[in-house]
Amino acid sequence: MSLLIKGGLVVDPAQGLEQIRDLLIQGDKIAALEPPGTIPGQGRRVVEAKDLVVAPGLIDMHVHLREPGEEYKETILTGTRAAVRGGFTAVAAMPNTRPVNDTASVTRYILEQAKAAGLARVYPVGAISMGSAGRNLSEYGDQKAAGAVALSDDGHPVANPMLMRRALEYARTFGLPIISHCEDLDLRGDGVMHEGRVSLELGLEGIPAAVEEIMIFRDLALIQLTGGRLHLAHVSAFGSVALVRQAKEAGLTVTAETAPHYFHLTEEAVKGYDTNAKVNPPLRTAADVAAIREGLKDGTLDAIACDHAPHSTLEKDLEFEAAAFGLIGLETSLGLSLKLVHDGVLTLTQLVAKMSTNPARILGVPGGTLTVGSPADVTIIDLNREWTVDVNTFASKGRNCPFNGWSLKGKAVATIVGGKIVSSEQ
Ligand code: DOR
């Protein structure tokens, strides 16, 4: 089977390419990338991509698919359906399932379910510690052999610095990155939103930015000690961006991601006690949003990952203090991120790097480029398609989205995984 994607603006940061090209897919690989009109369409399925962007398949390196164990919130099938609709050809699945993914058998189960779904690729992230309980390391060799691409206790910090030291050392021997959820639980206390003017007004317990910064500082000190590979999850604060910038200047082996809600929303979104805006780390101030945007622009923040965290009404239709942390993002992430391009914060090439090339590099997975011979994972994007976010149309089971009703410009119109069109709106 061969597929010709004709006349699109091919954006491939790995090749420094942003030009009109025809892209030929043969089987499950990229077979040719040539100037327009040079590859014959005869006998091939042709997709017209005039006025569209053709990008390497987007990769979201931080999602919660909730299977096994919480299938009422999301399954691998519904989560990957949401992923491909949102333009993602691959996602990395965090291990805070039930049971926690701390053993090879859970990783294998996730991969089997993903294969049966046949939509986006799923890269399991194994737990750093057994049960993500922060006491004993899990078996990294076994997890890697089963298909885990990184390790994280996401949802929980690794509170004990000695355990984190050993995790960085142990993971290093297997070439696996440690994805750190940076949060000092003692300092967080009973906090439920950012600590500041709005928490005061609402009478809610606050979470200061120092809760995140302290742990980032500790983890940076630990990679200096161990030489391990550290990736920081969901960076949300001004001070955190400054710490990562400084660490990168000093040559430390750190990478970092942020999420669309941290560059579009502030603590104001919590007003009215909207539990859809309850997320951990919390939505912060306009100064934090500005710092996150600056960090994306200057390369301090390598990746945009949405931290898709579906919850049901059982966890969200509650008083604010009792509701679960988390919001969904797979079907809005691209539209919200493209806003940065429309607003002149990022170039298109920078955006594709943060949503495809860099996540592939950080996780050490194939894809993230359209070079000949690469997997045929492609996202076709209409930069000008205007649409309104409506949670009731989502493929995800989650409805916990603070962007409902937003008008966005830019959408994935086709998602191709391994040469197969798995989602199309053309
Ligand atoms: O808001 C969050 N929700 N933050 C996390 O770290 C975990 C996530 C979840 O699993 O619901």
Mean pLDDT by 10 residues, the chain (426 residues): 95 98 98 96 96 99 98 98 99 98 98 98 99 98 98 98 98 98 98 98 98 98 97 98 98 98 98 98 98 98 99 98 98 98 98 99 98 98 98 98 98 98 90
Ligand 1: which atom is nearest the Cα of residue 324? 11
155 vs 127: CA distance, rounded Å? 11
Alpha helices for 58-209 (secondary structure H) = 76-85, 104-117, 140-146, 161-173, 185-188, 197-202
Ligand 1: which atom is nearest the Cα of residue 280? 1
Residue having the nearest C-alpha atom to atom 3 of ligand 1: 326
Give the position of tokens 């200096």.
224
- Please give the distance, rounded to the nearest whole angstrom, from the Cα atom of residue 261 to the centre of ligand 1: 13
Q: Is this prediction's pTM over 0.75?
A: yes
Ligand 1: which atom is nearest the Cα of residue 155? 6
Nearest Cα neighbor of 322 from 383, 278, 288 is: 278
- Please give the distance, rounded to the nearest whole angstrom, from the Cα atom of residue 154 to the centre of ligand 1: 8
361 vs 352: CA distance, rounded Å? 13
- 359 CB burial (10 A radius; 0-12, 13-18, 19+): buried
Q: Is the dihedral of CA 346, 351, 353, 354 positive or negative?
A: positive
- Is 219 annotated in the active site? no
289 vs 295: CA distance, rounded Å? 10
Substitution candidate for ligand 1 out of 154, 276, 308, 316 with most atoms within 8 A of CB: 154
- Please give the distance, rounded to the nearest whole angstrom, from the Cα atom of residue 119 to the centre of ligand 1: 24
A 10 A CB-CB count for 371 gives 13
Ligand 1 surroundings by CB, under 6 angstroms: 64, 96, 154-155, 181, 279-280, 309, 325-326
Are 34 and 19 in contact by the 8 Å Cβ rule? The answer is no
Substitution candidate for ligand 1 out of 60, 61, 64, 91 with most atoms within 8 A of CB: 64
Instruction: Give the model's pLDDT for residue 1.
Output: 75
- Please give the distance, rounded to the nearest whole angstrom, from the Cα atom of residue 64 to the centre of ligand 1: 8
- Please give the distance, rounded to the nearest whole angstrom, from the Cα atom of residue 191 to the centre of ligand 1: 14
Instruction: Mention every residue, 6+ apart, whose C-beta is less than 8 A from residue 132.
Output: 95, 96, 100, 102, 153, 154, 155, 156
Instruction: Mention every residue, 6+ apart, whose C-beta is less than 8 A from residue 220.
Output: 230, 243, 244, 247, 252, 254
Residue having the nearest C-alpha atom to atom 4 of ligand 1: 280
- The residue type of 200 is L
Are 424 and 6 in contact by the 8 Å Cβ rule? The answer is no
Distance from the Cα of residue 82 to its chain's centroid: 13
Substitution candidate for ligand 1 out of 96, 185, 212 with most atoms within 8 A of CB: 96
Are 172 and 145 in contact by the 8 Å Cβ rule? The answer is no
Ligand 1: which atom is nearest the Cα of residue 326? 1
Are 78 and 397 in contact by the 8 Å Cβ rule? The answer is yes
Residue having the nearest C-alpha atom to atom 2 of ligand 1: 326
Ligand 1: which atom is nearest the Cα of residue 311? 11
84 vs 81: CA distance, rounded Å? 5
Are 93 and 143 in contact by the 8 Å Cβ rule? The answer is no
Substitution candidate for ligand 1 out of 183, 232, 307 with most atoms within 8 A of CB: 307
Buried b (16+ CB within 10 A) or exposed e, 247-269: bbeeebbbbbbbbbbbbbbbbeb
Instruction: Give the model's pLDDT for residue 426.
Output: 61
263 vs 282: CA distance, rounded Å? 12
**Catalytically annotated residue among 60, 154, 184, 307:** 307
Distance linking the first and last C-alpha atoms of the chain: 20
- Please give the distance, rounded to the nearest whole angstrom, from the Cα atom of residue 5 to the centre of ligand 1: 38
Distances (CA, A) of 392 to 331, 399, 401: 12, 7, 11
Are 301 and 258 in contact by the 8 Å Cβ rule? The answer is yes
In degrees and rounded to multiples of 5, residue 47 shows phi and psi of -115, 120
- Please give the distance, rounded to the nearest whole angstrom, from the Cα atom of residue 281 to the centre of ligand 1: 8
Instruction: Give the model's pLDDT for residue 345.
Output: 98
Residue having the nearest C-alpha atom to atom 7 of ligand 1: 155
Ligand 1: which atom is nearest the Cα of residue 183? 6
Nearest Cα neighbor of 263 from 231, 237, 232 is: 237
Give the position of tokens 């990562």.
244
- Please give the distance, rounded to the nearest whole angstrom, from the Cα atom of residue 77 to the centre of ligand 1: 20
